Chain A
């Protein structure tokens, strides 16, 4: 029997460290010979801290564990062998109403939340590093590439370029030196797939890189990981050290005559460095600024040498494909999008967390069946996919199948897997403004259209949400958006207008309401709100008048209060404090 504590960043931020310490202490105090281990994110971030008690046959997952609950779990479950059923959310023996995992298929996340990421042995125990040894002994590089091509795996960083083909280009490029790069510069707001994989199963990524290195003929690799992921860096560094000790990395890896080294390069947090040419510039010590492709990195990459770049999730898929075969991978998904995809569910969704689903699943299935629907029973309005480069897909298109090409058709993109659920309190103009503000700040400032054009778009959105929209603003936004998309160097600029374009496409009437009627249909834009007191409901309790920071509410005690609309600053405090729902906003 052993106890595992989810100690991904999600677990730690929910207090996992304290639970882990408490468990260790309690087990020690009670002289129990039970190992307490750490593991990565299990996906159910909404239930953190998660503690799993496993023995050979059974597994019990405790949710929302606090240090206070540790004593009882140990006493009742470990000592007295009676699981504390009311705290358990998942178990292979108990019948529980839990369907977070029902529609999932965990390939990338196969070890996350299962093994101890700090132990190479546990990874090896789960057939780790067998794939790489197998190919070195049995397959030629071309055969490996064919296998990856046959699997149908497409780049999980967002572009969706066929991975096998990318490898083939890098292999065919002439050069005495070639590089492998793992892009772990995950930067989309609300996306944390790569972080969880690096924290929960770093060896899978390393093994994927080794296979890629063998396939294209590289002996040196970089993992470009953002410095804001300290735990991921720590675990990755440890994993590399462990590999070097075992001669999986270094000279003559796995007893072959091949050399391979992996270095970590910490990114300083520039979003644009997720773009591959900017990332390369950053590794080279230059300002992280993209350059025109072609030449693609496969031809001219790091230090001008042929370079293969994939992201974390892509590499993590590779060992599984090698071991289970291309066909088995290709059996999952749709015609053009194979395998699974990890999504980070966030926003107004009941169960936020990490879910790995087979391609072809519908948006509604993810939102309702995995995510448990919208929080607090509000109305599901749209999903935002692909982060700042992506777009909004309205609820009416909920039956859309998750597939690279289907999603692109809508104006959104698959992206790296951020999936933000929006409800009827979200203003779509404001949402577009949020993402544009993000890209505007993260633009490297090189191209005219991205640097100034997105700024001007943002200013237009700002004036619309402030109630100062002008007659032809929507057309101006659309025109600028097209020009920015057409005339920017890298993906950041080319996709920056997407959130604006898709919200205009599906929610044009919201823009129009802001501009023509000076009204925010979602009651979200402060400048456009009107607060007033419903006479029938007001009891004259004076609370709103006391709270009002500008003293614009007047009325005698126990008499009807009124708001001076001229003076009101629309802070909404009256609305929040009224116990009788007598304040309405519209």
Chain B
């Protein structure tokens, strides 16, 4: 493609750009418009299926998919005109018309206040009660009251009801509200504003509005007619359901935030809109409720003694205590007030209570649990009965005449109509009649306000979205707007009014964005029974109650609340309907931008079962939009192809290959499909409940699992729940392009429920005792000093994990050498690996990579020796596969078949343990065929003659015989390798036990030296390591044989320089030592272990038999920590910070994803410990350590985070004794060491045990 410069016009703007790019790329690059797309992932070839990214191009009739159309000279493009928007909108509507899924739980949607029920249930199930109540209070500041008396629209919508019974959502809310007790979670109040708001009416609506306004910093005054705040909560709900003590606590908590309260002030009498405005109130919220009882329309109801309106009855009980009510009581009505009145009357000690209701049980609006409770307490309900007239003696009630009713169908969606049965009259004796058929608004208080528009039935007219009345700045909500309705609805309106008032006072106007489109399963008809059959039935928890006998006689609260165990069981019943991708779903995000309406397109819908069979990956094909990003990622990037499309037309859908369970395909469980999926069709199967609409934060850091150091993005909820999601845009530009392997993607899971070290411990009398960290450090220092005094400094050894960041490693070796005066500094891993880790030191002065993964692209030949990249370093394998697309060839040298074998151009299946022989035979061929520049090599590299001598024994025939490969294959290999014009990179895994033999890295080094590939671009060596900081570990000098910067014993000047900077006499400390031997011989008495676990492995555990003191600094109670005298808590890798050096020598920064409570960062603990021995460790910050480290370490002088440190070898610098490269002369007898029996490396063990084992159970 020509890369010419072209001119195009986009949205009327002239742009000069390069050709060879897609329209989308140009528009995004020039930031002209944010063209949305669902099917495009810039890391894979465009596929063009969603047609969201269409643009209009002048002269072309069709709309053009911008993601895959190349931009051309003189194109005139419109990215966002009416036609384009209309097409995008229809595309989204079509996608949503076939999207059988819930964006959020129906419980949240059905709650008038949209309290995130799914979210707080999830938090309850995780025992995060405080977070749960915080979430409730985002929309409902009265959880104690609402948790008792709510009508529970959430439960009415609960999907669980179709399976067995709805989740006891309100019970759970009450549980966490009760749990708070005095110590209520209170949000931070914003700075005070100089604006006043009057809230008229102290019921739930008024209280809510006042609460959210005070949080915003407004000055709020509540005006209440009655003696106390609470409205219907106080005066309409009996004590046994909502104890006034509880209500008081809740109200006091709210008013205690700084709200002024004036009681006994009646709207329409003492105050009016004008009087309040005159008094300086900038905005008003009217929530005076509906307190007037409705009439039965029976003659005599107004003037008969013994006939009491229900709501008045309840109010009297609250205001004056038990009223004079006795004998037989009849109650008319079927709502909660009727039940409340009946149960209250019963508690007043009357003889009998009968409820008269004109419809049947099914139609009764009262809460069914309340009806049941009333019946249990002895209330009799006469269904299908209507009071016809009052029979009285003088003015005193004697009885009522009733009529029997029958129900008639009133048409679809309507409640059946009660119709009197002629001649069915009967007499019901009663002394008191309580009419509880509803309440009305006290309109007399409102009619005085001439400008306030009212409905004909007396309620205040408001804008339904903003709650603003006909008077600007005056808002209304609750029963005064809705007529007698629910408390939660009043709360919803109270909050909405508070938002609007805030808007009004800030911007002078109101009006919030219109509602988002959300998908719900019930839009698509019935939920298939097979979907529900899979759910194990479990009964809803029964709310514990006080015994019936006590109940009837007292006003004590009937329901006593759930126990801790009950709340956990009940929270587990949640079906987690809402989508875990609520915030990240690209489809849903787009829905916000368009006013979608799918009603025209409702028809057949795919309804699939969610596939939960994979241990980590959840497949919900209902949410799939057929974009194919997962299948293309799986087949084009990973070359695994475990998923694909099946069927055609409308039925076409992505499924695992052959529609098998994903795990039974060749899926490698890397989870990259999850990250590329734009919707919730492929998600992670979380070890915790899906958290409703709780927001998640992205925190980008680096992966800690292997030496590639991939960029990784953690999603953090509530600052403590963590999972990985590499779906953010920026991460796609990282060196790993955002791709991860199974370790990175799922490996962090063990952090969530592992056995973590919470505090420092000191072992006393054989038992660890929790102590303060500083105390533990003092104790450790004292013990170490004792040992040093007795046995000398060399009796102390430090073992430091190559998983620790550079700063900690630098600090630890400095602590050892300058603080303690010991050279016993290493990692267990180094000791196990013996000399291999520094195999190139004699030849080059440093054993490290000389190329980056980007160099693979320009290499002609990649040779992988010793390593199973698919298992150990998947991302490097992807880099290889990417290079292969450009024609790079791949050679594998390994005895056994691995996953990468089928992608290899040549597989040398040499016998295990013979790779050194093979490499030497290749070198022999290079020399024999004279395919190297002898003159130049002779002058630059030492030891050519010795090499020739040594190599003479490796004749092709013998070598092939030993390696058991046929000579023809060997010839092919040699022909490929010995092409001097080819760019060749060797990839060698230093830590993998798979194919390793003792000297093969030395032999590879010799080959690369001989063919001069260390200094040529796109040639050289990629040394793979197991741990995230294996490279930094050696660079930092955590090794008895060298100081930071690979300074060796013979480099006197460098040692002196470091000595001066550390202010230490290194001459007596930095001496050759064999730590393993000294350990075994018992010369080492004090062992300090940082992040390693040698006692977990029998092989290494025996080295530690003779120690007297063991200190462990770790995040987990490892086997080693269990035996330690002192354990210091370390943050886990997602909680700590520092720099890491990856296998390419890329210096990268790791940041804490979450912050543990009361725990020092790793470097702080080490500094504190070291400071007990020497003054040079008082660092202010980790930055100070980094800068000291860069000054000391000659290889890090130019070190900047996120840049590649150049290997000095490339610059022609060799830290060898003669400052020149040397051929390694291997003392060789054609014997090979036996590869270790374990087929995976040491570092893999943990991962396999904790994560991978899940795949096979």
List the A residue with the shortest CB-CB distance to B49: A446
* Neighbouring A residues of B1151 by C-beta, 8 Å: none
List the A residue with the shortest CB-CB distance to B86: A483
- Whether B658 sits at the interface, judged by CB under 8 Å, is no
Chain A proximity of B84: nearest CB distance (Å)? 10
Chain B proximity of A454: nearest CB distance (Å)? 8
Given that A292-B68, A448-B49, A448-B50 are contacting pairs, would A443 and B650 also be in contact in the complex, using a CB cutoff of 8 Å?
yes
Inter-subunit contact B62/A485 (CB<8 Å): yes
Q: How many residues of B contact A (CB 8 A)?
A: 39
Q: Which of B645-702 contact A (CB under 8 A)?
A: 645, 647-653
- Whether A582 sits at the interface, judged by CB under 8 Å, is no
Inter-subunit contact A448/B649 (CB<8 Å): no
Most buried by B among A449, A456, A488: A456
* Neighbouring B residues of A455 by C-beta, 8 Å: 603-604, 649-650
Chain A proximity of B587: nearest CB distance (Å)? 11
Inter-subunit contact A448/B48 (CB<8 Å): no
List the A residue with the shortest CB-CB distance to B63: A486
B90 touches which of A270, A442, A480 (Cβ 8 Å) = A480
Interface string of A477-518 (1 = CB under 8 A from B): 001100101111100001000000000000000000000000
Inter-subunit contact A445/B626 (CB<8 Å): yes
Interface string of B45-70 (1 = CB under 8 A from A): 01111111010000001110100111
Inter-subunit contact B650/A445 (CB<8 Å): yes
Inter-subunit contact A487/B62 (CB<8 Å): yes
- Whether A522 sits at the interface, judged by CB under 8 Å, is no
Q: How far is the CA of A444 from the CA of B650 in the complex (A)?
A: 8
Inter-subunit contact A456/B601 (CB<8 Å): yes
Q: How far is the CA of A256 from the CA of B123 in the complex (A)?
A: 80
Inter-subunit contact B62/A476 (CB<8 Å): no
- Whether A9 sits at the interface, judged by CB under 8 Å, is no
- Whether B87 sits at the interface, judged by CB under 8 Å, is yes
- Whether B999 sits at the interface, judged by CB under 8 Å, is no
* Neighbouring B residues of A494 by C-beta, 8 Å: 62
- Whether A451 sits at the interface, judged by CB under 8 Å, is yes
Given that A440-B649, A441-B649, A445-B647 are contacting pairs, would A292 and B97 also be in contact in the complex, using a CB cutoff of 8 Å?
no
* Neighbouring A residues of B533 by C-beta, 8 Å: none
Given that A291-B47, A476-B600 are contacting pairs, would A451 and B650 also be in contact in the complex, using a CB cutoff of 8 Å?
yes
* Neighbouring A residues of B68 by C-beta, 8 Å: 292
Given that A287-B645, A292-B65, A455-B604 are contacting pairs, would A449 and B94 also be in contact in the complex, using a CB cutoff of 8 Å?
yes
Inter-subunit contact A487/B650 (CB<8 Å): no
B626 touches which of A292, A440, A451 (Cβ 8 Å) = A451
Chain A proximity of B1007: nearest CB distance (Å)? 34
Interface string of B61-105 (1 = CB under 8 A from A): 111010011100000000000000011001100110110000000
Chain B proximity of A445: nearest CB distance (Å)? 2
Chain B proximity of A185: nearest CB distance (Å)? 15
- Whether A165 sits at the interface, judged by CB under 8 Å, is no
- Whether B1201 sits at the interface, judged by CB under 8 Å, is no
Q: How far is the CA of A443 from the CA of B651 in the complex (A)?
A: 10
Most buried by A among B50, B91, B94: B94
Chain A residues touching B, range: 20 to 34
Inter-subunit contact A446/B65 (CB<8 Å): no
Inter-subunit contact B49/A489 (CB<8 Å): yes
- Whether A452 sits at the interface, judged by CB under 8 Å, is yes
* Neighbouring A residues of B50 by C-beta, 8 Å: 447-448
Q: How far is the CA of A456 from the CA of B600 in the complex (A)?
A: 9
List the B residue with the shortest CB-CB distance to A447: B49
Chain B proximity of A304: nearest CB distance (Å)? 11
List the B residue with the shortest CB-CB distance to A295: B70
* Neighbouring B residues of A488 by C-beta, 8 Å: 51
Given that A446-B49, A483-B90 are contacting pairs, would A452 and B650 also be in contact in the complex, using a CB cutoff of 8 Å?
yes
* Neighbouring A residues of B98 by C-beta, 8 Å: 452
* Neighbouring B residues of A445 by C-beta, 8 Å: 626, 645, 647-653
Chain B proximity of A451: nearest CB distance (Å)? 6
Inter-subunit contact A448/B47 (CB<8 Å): no
Chain B proximity of A453: nearest CB distance (Å)? 6
Inter-subunit contact B95/A452 (CB<8 Å): yes
- Whether B800 sits at the interface, judged by CB under 8 Å, is no
Q: How far is the CA of A444 from the CA of B94 in the complex (A)?
A: 16
Interface string of A74-98 (1 = CB under 8 A from B): 0000000000000000000000000
B649 touches which of A442, A476, A486 (Cβ 8 Å) = A442
- Whether A294 sits at the interface, judged by CB under 8 Å, is yes
Given that A455-B603, A456-B603, A486-B61 are contacting pairs, would A440 and B49 also be in contact in the complex, using a CB cutoff of 8 Å?
no
Inter-subunit contact B650/A448 (CB<8 Å): no
Given that A292-B48, A448-B95 are contacting pairs, would A487 and B87 also be in contact in the complex, using a CB cutoff of 8 Å?
yes
Task: Give the total number of A-B pairs whose CB atoms are below 8 A apart.
Answer: 105
Inter-subunit contact A446/B628 (CB<8 Å): yes
- Whether B1156 sits at the interface, judged by CB under 8 Å, is no
* Neighbouring A residues of B87 by C-beta, 8 Å: 483, 486-487
- Whether B625 sits at the interface, judged by CB under 8 Å, is yes
- Whether A241 sits at the interface, judged by CB under 8 Å, is no
Q: How far is the CA of A455 from the CA of B61 in the complex (A)?
A: 24
* Neighbouring A residues of B90 by C-beta, 8 Å: 449, 453, 479-480, 483
Q: How far is the CA of A289 from the CA of B654 in the complex (A)?
A: 14
A453 touches which of B47, B49, B94, B625 (Cβ 8 Å) = B94
Interface string of A428-449 (1 = CB under 8 A from B): 0000000000001111111111
Inter-subunit contact A487/B49 (CB<8 Å): no
* Neighbouring A residues of B91 by C-beta, 8 Å: 448-449, 483, 487
Q: How far is the CA of A444 from the CA of B647 in the complex (A)?
A: 8
* Neighbouring A residues of B49 by C-beta, 8 Å: 446-448, 489
Given that A294-B70, A448-B50 are contacting pairs, would A443 and B601 also be in contact in the complex, using a CB cutoff of 8 Å?
no
Q: Which of B1159-1182 contact A (CB under 8 A)?
A: none
- Whether A459 sits at the interface, judged by CB under 8 Å, is yes
- Whether B644 sits at the interface, judged by CB under 8 Å, is yes
Inter-subunit contact B604/A444 (CB<8 Å): no
Q: Which of B29-57 contact A (CB under 8 A)?
A: 46-52, 54
Q: Which of A256-271 contact B (CB under 8 A)?
A: 270
* Neighbouring B residues of A449 by C-beta, 8 Å: 51, 90-91, 94
Inter-subunit contact A487/B63 (CB<8 Å): yes
* Neighbouring B residues of A287 by C-beta, 8 Å: 644-645
Q: How far is the CA of A441 from the CA of B52 in the complex (A)?
A: 23
Q: How far is the CA of A155 from the CA of B710 in the complex (A)?
A: 52
* Neighbouring B residues of A451 by C-beta, 8 Å: 626, 649-650, 652
Q: How far is the CA of A446 from the CA of B52 in the complex (A)?
A: 13
* Neighbouring B residues of A270 by C-beta, 8 Å: 648
Given that A294-B70, A452-B94, A455-B603 are contacting pairs, would A489 and B649 also be in contact in the complex, using a CB cutoff of 8 Å?
no
Given that A453-B94, A485-B62 are contacting pairs, would A448 and B51 also be in contact in the complex, using a CB cutoff of 8 Å?
yes
Inter-subunit contact B48/A489 (CB<8 Å): yes
Q: How far is the CA of A476 from the CA of B597 in the complex (A)?
A: 13
* Neighbouring A residues of B645 by C-beta, 8 Å: 287, 289, 445
Inter-subunit contact B650/A440 (CB<8 Å): yes
List the B residue with the shortest CB-CB distance to A470: B600
* Neighbouring B residues of A487 by C-beta, 8 Å: 51, 54, 62-63, 65, 87, 91
* Neighbouring B residues of A452 by C-beta, 8 Å: 94-95, 97-98, 601, 650
Interface string of B422-462 (1 = CB under 8 A from A): 00000000000000000000000000000000000000000
Inter-subunit contact A443/B62 (CB<8 Å): no
A residues neighboring B (CB under 8 Å): 270, 272, 287, 289, 291-292, 294, 440-449, 451-453, 455-456, 459, 476, 479-480, 483, 485-489, 494
B residues neighboring A (CB under 8 Å): 46-52, 54, 61-63, 65, 68-70, 86-87, 90-91, 94-95, 97-98, 600-601, 603-604, 625-626, 628, 644-645, 647-653
Interface contacts beyond A442-B648, A483-B86, A486-B63: sample of 19 additional A-B pairs, CB < 8 Å, sorted by A:
A270-B648, A292-B48, A440-B649, A441-B648, A441-B649, A443-B652, A445-B647, A446-B47, A449-B51, A451-B649, A452-B95, A452-B97, A452-B98, A456-B603, A459-B604, A483-B90, A486-B61, A486-B87, A487-B91
Top 7 A-B residue pairs of the complex, sorted by shortest distance between their CB atoms? A445-B652, A459-B603, A452-B94, A487-B51, A455-B650, A443-B649, A446-B49
